Structure 1
Amino acid sequence: MFPLEEWFTLYLYQQDFIAKEQLAISPDDRGYYFGDGIYEVFRVYKGELFEADGHYRRLELSSADTRIPLPYSIPELHAKLLELIHLNRLREGTVYMQVTRGIAPRSHPYPAKAEPVLMAYCNELKRPLQTMQKGITAVTSADIRWLRCDLKTLNLLPNVMAKQQALDLGANEVVWHRDRVVTECSASNFMIVRNGEIWTHPANHLILHGITRDVVIRLAQKLHIQVHQAPFKIEEMMSADEAFVTGTTVEVTPVISVDGVYIGQGELGPVTRRLQQAFEEYVGI
């Protein structure tokens, strides 16, 4: 067993579990100079990967469409990540993992002989209980990213810029739109409530197919709450009764205002509260 002072510092790099300080990444890694890689962020509750199958399906989609092969089969990868969690003694937090196309001289075409490079590590993370009660604020921004937002790639500079834009304006998050049709947020999916029914953008190439998003939709259906996976515009968002984001680290968090205008009563609404409770029951926390 590793000494206690190395808790939450062990990385999985290729086939080895090593301390962060021992990790060395080549400057010729295509993930470094092209963002040529894919990733996943898993939530860990009670020492177990949450909704692992959904994450693996999305990872396989990203792998297939970017033609970045996975260095392990899904069962092998799952065993490796569970071992990483065990070695780090993680009970509640996240596991970040990425696979880059590999090490090769800088040239745009896919290299013929590069081997994929895998890295994964754990973070301790508590549930955002206070934010889930108080809610967050958001601002709108034109969604001018590329058109494969369903792929979970390392090319996150647009998301980083959007998040900073929100912070610069005193908000927590950006709500993106294309020609005033709301898509998603910089680090989460977005939903509104109108007349007791939920609306969210369809899971097509314009948004990331969120794992928590899928869970919330299933929970809403079990609660007999109608869910519309259909486009809606900024005007419909601004007149909504409630709004909330879903995501691996935010779970179900209300959005109380957008562009300085309160959504509904500007507080945690009844439908969002029901979904939070259903999510907690589903996770068993």
Structure 2
Amino acid sequence: QLPEGYYSTFRTFDRCTRALGLADHLRRLYDPVPAPEVSASALRRQLLDLLEHFRPGEARVRLIMTKPGQIYIVIEPLKLLSRDIYKRGVRAETTGMYRDAPHLKSTAFIGVSDAERKHIAQEGIFEALLVKDGSILEGMTSNFFYVGRSGIPTYLGTAQDGILLGITRQIVIEIAQNNRLEVKYQPLKRDQLAAAQEAFITSSSRGIVPVIQIDGVTIGQGMPGPITKKLSAIYDVYVNKKAEKI
């Protein structure tokens, strides 16, 4: 059982020497706690020392800050998704579960959502999408985007309220806007799945993962679409340029 507190999860790059958005991950971890026992700079040093044991491979890191200010570091070898998943896309399923305090990445939510994660894994579903009042807000372990069409222009849609504002999500929004793709902060309605041209989820450990089916409804052509592919390619370049030294 995880200690009560807050957490942030990310993967390493360049043989465990860099991480994307590390300063933002640490800020999210430290902000809710008034008196942490270890400074962010000291945590970086400890993390880098521990990661030496995982080289030359990469690692998945989970940092946990307890409410009293203690820090736990959980590191495991990074298990990359198969190329086939990015090439073919994944299936998702909606659930009525949602975060009570979405602005905080609380360890309590991991425990609450454990049964749902096990259920979808048994069904061969990649991710559960959290729905409130008929709107798809986010993934259980990710943020959710869809590609919609308003007349001729195409836009990238995502929820803004009632979600965890993920670090990879913000990077994708920045990439989209820099490439003249309009971003609309409006969630996709559960009863309008067929209107979505494309869909994908984002997370720090997995990047951009195409979603081709939700609740049995095929999204677009049932394969990763051109905008998802374009954003994924740009994201990969962004990672190589912007990942921070640990």
Q: Is this contact kept in 2: 1:133–1:253, CA < 8 A?
A: no
Equivalent residue, structure 1, for 2:227: 271
Equivalent residue, structure 1, for 2:23: 53
- The answer on 1:164 being equivalent to 2:118 is yes
Q: 1:201 aligns with which of 150, 159, 162?
A: 159
Q: 2:77 aligns with which of 124, 127, 139?
A: 124
Question: How many angstroms apart in 2 are the aligned matches of 1:239 and 1:167?
Answer: 27
Question: How many angstroms apart in 1 are the aligned matches of 2:95 and 2:112?
Answer: 11
> 1:158 Cα shift?
3.0
Q: Is this contact kept in 2: 1:192–1:244, CA < 8 A?
A: yes
Equivalent residue, structure 2, for 1:88: 54
Q: Which has the higher contact order (CA 8 A, sep 6+)?
A: 2
What is the number of equivalent residue pairs in this alignment? 233
Question: How many angstroms apart in 1 are the aligned matches of 2:141 and 2:114?
Answer: 9
Moved more, 183-192 or 159-168: 159-168
Question: Which structure has the larger Rg over C-alpha atoms?
Answer: 1
Q: Is this contact kept in 2: 1:238–1:258, CA < 8 A?
A: no
Identity over aligned pairs, percent: 29
> Structure 2 matches for 1:216-227, cutoff 5 A?
216-227=172-183
Question: How many angstroms apart in 1 are the aligned matches of 2:84 and 2:37?
Answer: 39
- The answer on 1:40 being equivalent to 2:8 is yes
Question: How many angstroms apart in 2 are the aligned matches of 1:284 and 1:173?
Answer: 27
Q: 1:246 aligns with which of 202, 205, 217?
A: 202
> 1:258 Cα shift?
0.8
Unaligned runs of 5+ in 1: 1-30, 102-114
> 1:90 Cα shift?
5.3
Q: Is this contact kept in 2: 1:93–1:123, CA < 8 A?
A: yes
Question: How many angstroms apart in 2 are the aligned matches of 1:117 and 1:58?
Answer: 15
Equivalent residue, structure 2, for 1:177: 131
Question: How many angstroms apart in 2 are the aligned matches of 1:169 and 1:43?
Answer: 26
Equivalent residue, structure 2, for 1:192: 146
Question: How many angstroms apart in 2 are the aligned matches of 1:167 and 1:264?
Answer: 24
CA offsets 1:71-113 (integer angstroms, 9 cap, x no match): 2222222222122223432542221221224xxxxxxxxxxxx
Equivalent residue, structure 1, for 2:244: none
Moved more, 73-82 or 84-93: 84-93
Equivalent residue, structure 2, for 1:139: 93
> 1:180 Cα shift?
0.4
| RMSD of Structure 2 on Structure 1 (CA) | 2.0
State the secondary structure of the residue aligned to 2:188. coil
Unaligned runs of 5+ in 2: 242-246
Give 1:82's aligned amino acid. L
The TM-score normalised by the length of structure 1 is 0.75
Q: Is this contact kept in 1: 2:64–2:71, CA < 8 A?
A: yes
